[in-house]
Amino acid sequence: MTSAADRQRSARMRRRMERLYPLLRSISGDGVRATLDVLAETVPLRRVGVPSGTRVFDWTLNDEWNAREAWIADTDGNRLVDLADHTLHLVSYSTPVRGRFTRDELLPHLHTLPDHPDWIPYRTSYYNRSWGFCLSQHQLDRLGDGPFDVLVDSTLEPGELTYGELFLPGETEDEVVVSSHVCHPSLVNDNLTGLTVAVELAADLADRPRRRHGWRFLFAPGTIGSLTWLSQNPDVLPRIRHGIVLTGLGGGGPLVWKRTRHGDRPVDRAATHVLRRYRSELRDYSPYGYDERQFNAVGFDLPVGRLTRTPHGEYPEYHTSADDLDFVTDAELAESLEALTSIVDVLERDTTYTNLSPYGEPQLGARGLYPSMGGKAASDAVMAMLWTLGYSDGRTSLLEIAETSAVPFERLHAAATDLLGSGLLAEVTGSGGEGERFLRAVGEELGDRQ
């Protein structure tokens, strides 16, 4: 049974997606800025604009694109296809057009999905100057013989690529980057689920009194946006210890973790441990997909994986008007956020401890940590304490103990907290800490005994 807080969170994510859905987003322009404005109502984003023409590694930032109006009409002025009805009707980055066209002249500029005659496809022309309209096959069948009046009131001119960034400092210099793309119009699973779940996570982390890592949230156009951020932040890259790309977090499929390029980074292991309790899949890295492929590129080699639920290209609704607000349920979003938060908690809380009573099992009952009535099977809490004590040798982390024992990480963390409070554990925090001093003392004592 969901709590009132869970229901409020789901309702908040739904309202946010409803507001974002009609905005005309692309890789640049007013739609991106309007999207960031909505996100900034929940978390304080820093907006960054990088001028058109800027060299970004092997790329050059395109001119900024904006579209105010676009339609196809018959000679009586009846609009047959209209951008005002759906943002997918116009091919993204279409050049300006005004004129009268025959049917044969117009057809090469029209895109449909004959196998799904009620759906509108999503098409782009970012780096090839052209124009076009997307419409359902039924609309095309009813279009008539023409001629047709066509208007694309758009601009392609020097401007900027815009992205949003939020940094939440932690107790260490280590950072985690969480990235979601902002460039798709009216595509809910493929765009808005990642944005709204990322914002909820950012708000949760902002409210936490302590954060071990710094958390850096990036809301940028796909591919070119992440490349631009990478080019603008060379000083940040050495501090990134973990990363997660978020997208496709609805749509009914299982949760899917796409591993980092190395496949065994701590974020991979944390995701693997958490997702075993969900209907989920683990996939190896491939250099195709979303912005994880930019972060993992050999020149950066950053430990960034991807969390999705229904990945790109694996559902018929992908990049069509059927990826709408009805395609994603509140329950899917809530579970995706729950799993993500659990992965985050593992990354934040994974610590190495030293057992301060290593000569056999300590007397837990004397410290109020063991049930007063003996003879029963050990409880989950007691087993978690025993596993923690049994492997806390100053070198084995809590996540490693969780992987060995199959005990949920949060249960081990709770056990470690109790043991720490009872003086049975010390955290290994760096040279000179209590755990390190104890390990040296034990080594010296054992040496004396020999």
Match 């300590």 to its residue by tokens: 362
**48: Cβ contacts below 8 Å, ≥ 6 apart:** 162, 163, 164, 165, 229, 232
CA distance 178 to 33: 19
- Torsions phi, psi of 309, nearest 5? -120, -45
Helix (H, G, I), strand (E, B) or coil at 242: strand
CA distances (Å), 379 to each of 143, 386, 405, in order? Answer: 70, 11, 15
CA distance 83 to 133: 9
CA distance 216 to 213: 9
CA distance 24 to 186: 7
CA distance 70 to 133: 9
CA distance 138 to 151: 21
Residue 190 among known ligand-binding residues: yes
CA distance 249 to 307: 8
**168: Cβ contacts below 8 Å, ≥ 6 apart:** 202, 205, 206, 211, 214, 215, 216, 217
**449: Cβ contacts below 8 Å, ≥ 6 apart:** none
291: nearest Cα among 365, 230, 381, 371: 230
Q: Are 166 and 213 in contact (CB under 8 A)?
A: no
CA distances (Å), 412 to each of 111, 208, 356, 372, 449, in order? Answer: 55, 21, 17, 21, 33
- Torsions phi, psi of 34, nearest 5? -65, -35
CA distance 369 to 417: 12
42: nearest Cα among 176, 195, 209: 195
Q: Which long-range contacts (CB under 8 A, 24 or more apart) does 324-329 make?
A: 324/21, 324/186, 324/188, 325/17, 325/18, 325/21, 325/188, 327/188, 327/189, 327/250, 327/251, 328/17, 328/188, 328/189, 328/192, 328/193, 328/249, 328/250, 328/251, 329/250, 329/252
Query: Which amino acids are annotated as binding site for Zn(2+), given as ranges?
Result: 184, 190, 319
Query: Which amino acids are annotated as binding site, given as ranges?
Result: 184, 190, 319
